Amino acid sequence: QKEVEQDPGPLSVPEGAIVSLNCTYSNSAFQYFMWYRQYSRKGPELLMYTYSSGNKEDGRFTAQVDKSSKYISLFIRDSQPSDSATYLCAMIFYNQGGKLIFGQGTELSVKP
């Protein structure tokens, strides 16, 4: 079993839709959670960074963490064609500074 599970998709939605991206994890020692966006042929770009359970909002993006269920989500409101990319969840142990564990990534396509 992988430490972090993420549906690779692809996920295709119409412009303006609400997108929900999810990851589950198996180790409760994960303490910090991140979402990265990766465009083709580019490096991952940090979107959201959260620690505690609950919601964190930044513009059209909302990150949600449920530590009791070992489940994290990223919601994108009013999706745009420019949101078409691969979205990667990542997490880190509290006392193991440096080593990010990534999900496989979900490929998202937003159609005009």
Partner 1 sequence: NAGVMQNPRHLVRRRGQEARLRCSPMKGHSHVYWYRQLPEEGLKFMVYLQKENIIDESGMPKERFSAEFPKEGPSILRIQQVVRGDSAAYFCASSPQAQRNQPQHFGDGTRLSIL
Cβ nearer to partner 1, comparing 13 with 92:
92
Residues pairing with 56 in the sheet: 63
Q: Whose Cβ is closer to partner 1: residue 11's or residue 92's?
A: 92
Name the nearest CA neighbour of 61 among 3, 108, 5, 4: 108
Rounded least distance, CB 21 to partner 1, Å: 14
Q: Is 34 in the site for partner 1 (CB under 8 A)?
A: yes
- In whole angstroms, the minimum distance from the beta carbon of 34 to partner 1 comes to 6
